[in-house]
Structure 1
Amino acid sequence: MYSLEGKSAVITGGGSGIGKAIATLFATQGATVHILEMNAEAATATITALNGSSAVLRAHAHSCDVSNQEQVKSVFQEIGQVDILVNNAGIAHVGTVETTTEEDFTRVFDVNVRGAYNCLHAAIPLMKAQGKGVILNIASIAALVGITDRFAYSMSKGAIYAMTLSVARDYLAHNIRCNSISPARVHTPFVDGFIAKNYPGKESEIFEKLSKSQPIGRMGEPAEVANLALFLCADEASFITGNDYPLDGGFVKLNN
């Protein structure tokens, strides 16, 4: 089950964290994986690891700024066949509306929102020409509930959630499915770096506090997001479109 054999999957931000886990699992399940990544070294490291595995010999890295539409169009035209698009690339920001500068707001918007739009804009014509396609957007629980000090980030993920519904509706007749996943905190290198930078000497204490903010008592793991992503992008999920899936350890419904 959940074979992606013969499919071409584009994964943005696939050099680390959730994107890397998705790229790795998709490749293992037979997909030809194309990683779009600003950090060329991270993308190359992921691809090298995949191509060194006995399970996969079909992985490619593309240096690309997803906020630059011309770069994105060029890369997608080079790839040609796009059966699956995973819009995962994103950046975070801490701040309220008062403490968020115009530069901060624009930077988050450009990567998280414009980046997803650019990839959708480039991929959908290719999918229409093929007569089918699957799109998965990585949103966040910040799109569903109020999160303290996450004004710009919440704005961007709310846009991802809304774009998911819009694309799902607009392309039903073209056999293009579009869903999203809204993770709570997931233990990635970003989280470790954020804690080390902002809470030096208190890393263990803060990690435990952040972990327990999920009712289940821990953070998610990138592989858990990848497992759900695999199902939603596989043929077994062919009746699913226009849905968002909170992957949150109970955060949205049970955090009362």
Structure 2
Amino acid sequence: MKTIFITGAGAGIGLATARRFAREGWRVGAADRDPQALAALARELGSSCWPLRMDVTDVDSVRRALAEFGMRSNGRLDVLMNNAGVLKVGAFEQISMAEHARIMQINVIGLMQVLHAAFPLLRDTDGAQVINMSSASAIYGIPDFASYSASKHAVRALTEALDLEWETHGIRVTDLMPPFVNTGMVQANLGASRLFDTLGVDLAAADIAEAAWQLVRKPRVHRPVSWRMRLLWPVSQVAPAALTRGLMRVLRRA
């Protein structure tokens, strides 16, 4: 039976992904800091779910959770989904440095800690794959999302680098790049930037879960999510930086 380990599985995209893969008969290692959310998910998914209390910023917690997962799965990890992340929107100088640091600690360092601890399991599983949650904000720095955007640029770079590094071990490293998704994290920040109104919040967590499933079926380094992103992504790779910068300015002021 195939297995997936999902960080931030207690809510939003992680929760929807746990449900999606469980429907396909996979065993789901559901990792989260919230024990009540994990208990609810375990009740819902039954024997398909292995709830694992974990904080991505605590390296000992990460190692313990992955060790427990490895014991339950007999050392198998087909897909690691690095989903845990946080968001704070607003003018850079009006967000505290503690909050900026928290964003980087969870979205980047936490993700790296999970990758590092999961590597032996991935290496020892034929055809293993990593799915990192990147973002549309990894295409170009997004105003009002400065530290979040920086964190997702880092995720994009890690994805590209490790997909090459870990090729020798037979591990694919990929990412999802969605625009705004209607989750509690985004809802908590609505009104903090005009970009939410300009671009809309049109995707549901289930849409990203489906994109994750499709990415497993047909892996590629970057998978833009939504028709707008699928159009914008190839253009962004060849367009002059000044054009992209100008577009960001227009969207923010619209």
TM-score range with shorter-chain normalisation?
Answer: 0.7 to 0.9
1:124 matches 2:119: yes
Q: What does residue 68 of structure 1 align with? A: 58
Q: What does residue 225 of structure 2 align with? A: 247
Q: Secondary structure at the match of 1:21?
A: helix
Q: What does residue 227 of structure 1 align with? A: 210
> Of 88, 91, 101, which aligns to 1:93?
88
Does the aligned pair in 1 maintain the 2:86–2:185 contact within 8 Å? no
CA–CA separation in structure 2 for the residues paired with 1:110 and 1:193: 20
CA–CA separation in structure 2 for the residues paired with 1:98 and 1:194: 16
- AA aligned opposite 2:199: S
CA–CA separation in structure 2 for the residues paired with 1:114 and 1:189: 22
Gaps of 5+ in 2: 71-75, 236-243, 248-254
In the TM superposition, residue 107 of structure 1 has moved relative to its aligned partner by 0.6
Q: What does residue 183 of structure 2 align with? A: 188
TM-score by length of 2: 0.82
In the TM superposition, residue 29 of structure 1 has moved relative to its aligned partner by 0.5
Q: What does residue 210 of structure 1 align with? A: 196
- AA aligned opposite 1:181: L
- AA aligned opposite 1:143: A
Q: Secondary structure at the match of 1:10?
A: strand
- % of aligned pairs identical? 29
CA–CA separation in structure 2 for the residues paired with 1:249 and 1:211: 18
Q: 1:25 to 1:211 in 2, by over 3 A?
A: farther
Q: What does residue 147 of structure 2 align with? A: 152
- AA aligned opposite 1:225: I
Q: What does residue 202 of structure 1 align with? A: none
Flag the structure with higher helix content. Answer: 2
Does the aligned pair in 1 maintain the 2:3–2:77 contact within 8 Å? yes
TM-score by length of 1: 0.82
Q: What does residue 77 of structure 1 align with? A: 67
Q: Secondary structure at the match of 2:211?
A: helix
How many pairs align?
Answer: 229
1:110-153 per-residue CA deviation (whole Å, 9 max, x = no partner) reads 11111110110011111212344110001111111332211110
Q: Secondary structure at the match of 1:194?
A: coil
- AA aligned opposite 1:78: E
1:47 matches 2:42: yes
Does the aligned pair in 2 maintain the 1:134–1:177 contact within 8 Å? yes
Gaps of 5+ in 1: 1-5, 52-56, 200-205
In the TM superposition, residue 211 of structure 1 has moved relative to its aligned partner by 5.7
Q: Secondary structure at the match of 1:130?
A: coil
Task: Output aligned runs, 1:94-113, within 5 Å.
Answer: 94-113=89-108
Structural RMSD (CA): 2.3
CA–CA separation in structure 2 for the residues paired with 1:187 and 1:131: 35
Does the aligned pair in 2 maintain the 1:35–1:60 contact within 8 Å? yes
Task: Output aligned runs, 1:21-36, within 5 Å.
Answer: 21-36=16-31
